[in-house]
Structure 1
Amino acid sequence: MNDELDQIFSDKLFQYIKDGIIVMDASRKIVKANRAAKELIGWGIGERVPYCSYCAKRDVKPGEERCYLMAHKGEIPYFSSEMPTFGEYMLDVEMSNVMIYHDQETDKKYYLLVLRDQTLKKKEEEARISKKMIKMLTNAKEAEHKRLSQELHDGVGQSLYSISIAMDNIMKRIEDDTLNEYIDDVRLELGQVMDDVKFYSQALRPKILDQLGLIATVESLIEMMKKQLPRTAFHFSHNFDERLAPMIEINVYRVIQEGLHNMLKYARAENGCIELNKQDERLIVMIKDDGVGFDLKMKKSGLGLLHMKERISQLDGTTTIESSPGRGTTITLEIPLKESDQDESLNRR
C-alpha cells in the first residue's frame, strides 16, 4: 500500500510541479515529460530535445558533448539560455541537468532536465529597472527644480529687489513730475516681474517645503488657491505635524499640487477638501471636490493622472481615483511610511 501511495504522490508531483521536467536518454530522446515541460517547449515523448541557442553554436572539441550541462557532468548547477520550442519560438529558460540512472548492463544513461521559464522573471526585472530609472529621473528633476528655484529667489529675485531700491532713491532726487510718473509706472511693472519670479520659484520648488515640511507647504498652497478660486471653500485637516521622509514630502506635495490644479482648471467646485492622516505606519491622503467630475474611462490616459500614479508608485504606494460626471472627484493615496537610502537624495538644505 505504501509503495502504491508513493507512486501516486510521485506522479502527482511530477505532473503538477510548475517547472518543466524531462527525462531523456544520452541521445536527448524524450522518455518522459511532465505537463509543464510540454506547455513550455511543446516536444513530446519520442522526440529529441533540441539544443539551446548557446549549445547549438558553441565550439566543441572532437568527442565532446555539445550540451554544455551534459559535458560538465552535473558540475554546473544551472544554466540560462534560449530554448527553441515546437513552433520554433525561442524561449528564455533556466536549465539544470543531471544523470539520474545508469544501466550498467546496457550502458544506457538517463538524464533529468529541469526547465524554468524566465520570461516572467525577465519582465519583472525590466519593470524593476524601469521603476528605478523613473525614480532616479524624478529625483534629478526635483534636484534641478530646487537649484533653479534657489537661483530665481537668491539671484534674480535679489537683483530685482536691488533695482527697485535704486529706483526709489532716484525718484527722491528727481523733481520732474512727468519723469516721476514714468518711473512710478516702471516700478509697478518691476513689482509685477518680482511677483512672477516669486511665483515661478515657488512653483519649481517651494522653499517652505524644505524649511517647514509638508503640512505648512500644503497650507500655503491652499492659501494661494483661495485667491484664484474665491468662490470655492477649502477644508484642510491632518492628524500629525512631524516631518516625513523628503521623498514622501515632495511627491505627495506634487500630487496635491496637480489635484488642486485640476480643481482650478476643470472642477468648478464649491468645496475642496484635503486630508492627511497617519494610520498604522501608512500615510493616507485624500483630495476631494464636489465639482463636475469626469468619466474615468474617457480620462484614464490623461498625463496628469498618470504622473500622479507614477509618483506614488515610486513610494510603493497606491493611487485610487473615483469620479463620475456631476459627482465630483476623489483621489486617495495610500503610502507606506518607510525611509530608504534614496530618501536623502533630496536633502533639506
Structure 2
Amino acid sequence: MALKDGNEASTYIIQSQEEEIKRIALELHEGISQNLYSLYTGLGFLETGIEDPHMRSYAKEMATLMERTIQEVRLLSVELYPNTLTTLGLISALKSYSKLYTSTFGILVNFESTGDEKVMSERKSMAVFRVCQEALINIAKYADATNVTIRFTWEEKLVKIQIEDYGKGFDVIEVMKRNHFTGIAAMKERMVLAGGKCHVTSELANGTTVSISLPIQREGEF
C-alpha cells in the first residue's frame, strides 16, 4: 500500500510540474519569442537605412545574435512543452523537437517507425517524450556522437522505442555507482510511473542504447 501511495504521490508531483512547465512554455512561445522576432525584424529594417559601413556591420551582427537567441528560445519552449504532442501525435512532436535539436547541437536524428502509431493518453505520450528528450540531451552532453537513431515499434497493446547513438559509450554500472548519471534514474522512474520500463545499455567505443517499452491503453487511462 505504501508503494502504491508513493507512486501516486510521485505521479501527482510530476503532473503538477508538467502543468506549470506548460504555462511557462506557452509564455515563452507566445510572448517572449514573438517580442524577440519583432526586435529582429526591426533591426533588419534599421540596417537597410544605415550608411556607415561599420555601423551597418554591427547592426547585422546584432540581428544575427537576435536570430540565434530566437532559435534558442524556440528550442527551450519545445523542450519544456511540445505543443504538437496533443495535436499531431508523439512521433510528430519528437520530429519537431529533433529539428531544433539538430540545428542547435549539430547531431542528426534519424527516425524509424514500424506499425501504425497508436493514440495514447497525454500523460503517457509526455512520459515517452521526456525520456527521449533526456536521452538526446545526454547524447549531446556526453556521447561525442554525430547521429542518433530513434526506432519505434508499434504493437497492438505495446509500443517499444530504442534510442541508439554511435558515440564513445560508457560503463553503465560504474557510472551508476558514482551517481553521476542521475538522468538514467529519472528516465527509469518516469517509465515506471507510466506503467512501462526503461533499460540502458552501453559499451565503450560502441555507443549507447536506451530501450523503452510501454503498454498502450485507451485515451483517459494512465
User: TM-score range, shorter-chain basis?
Assistant: 0.7 to 0.9
**Aligned-residue offset at 1:314:** 1.0
Normalising by structure 1, we get a TM-score of 0.55
Greater RCO, 1 or 2 (C-alpha within 8 Å, sep 6+): 2
Normalising by structure 2, we get a TM-score of 0.83
Q: SS where residue 116 of structure 2 aligns? A: coil
- In 1: Cα distance, 2:53 partner to 2:149 partner: 51
Whichever structure has more helix as a proportion of its residues is 2
Q: Is the 8 A contact 2:118 2:216 kept in 1?
A: no
Equivalent residue for 1:272?
A: 148
Equivalent residue for 2:187?
A: 308
Q: RMSD over aligned Cα, in angstroms?
A: 2.7
Q: SS where residue 207 of structure 1 aligns? A: coil
**Structure 1 pair 303–175 and aligned structure 2 pair: CA distance change class (3 A):** same
**Structure 1 pair 233–188 and aligned structure 2 pair: CA distance change class (3 A):** closer
% same residue: 26
Q: In terms of Rg, which structure is larger?
A: 1
Tell me the alpha carbon deviations over residues 155-193 of structure 1, each in whole angstroms, 9 at most, x when there is no partner. Answer: 111122223334444455555555544433333332232
1:163 to 16, 39, 46: 39
Count of residues in Structure 1 that have an aligned counterpart in Structure 2: 218
The reply on whether 1:322 has 2:201 as its aligned counterpart is: yes
Equivalent residue for 1:336?
A: 215
**Structure 1 pair 271–185 and aligned structure 2 pair: CA distance change class (3 A):** closer
How do residues 1-349 of structure 1 correspond to structure 2 at under 5 angstroms? 125-171=1-47, 179-227=55-103, 234-238=109-113, 239-269=115-145, 272-300=148-176, 301=179, 302-339=181-218, 341=220
**Structure 1 pair 234–335 and aligned structure 2 pair: CA distance change class (3 A):** same
**Aligned-residue offset at 1:308:** 0.3
* Runs (5+) with no aligned partner, structure 1: 1-124, 344-349
* Runs (5+) with no aligned partner, structure 2: none
Tell me the alpha carbon deviations over residues 11-51 of structure 1, each in whole angstroms, 9 at most, x when there is no partner. Answer: xxxxxxxxxxxxxxxxxxxxxxxxxxxxxxxxxxxxxxxxx
- In 2: Cα distance, 1:208 partner to 1:267 partner: 28
**Aligned-residue offset at 1:154:** 0.6
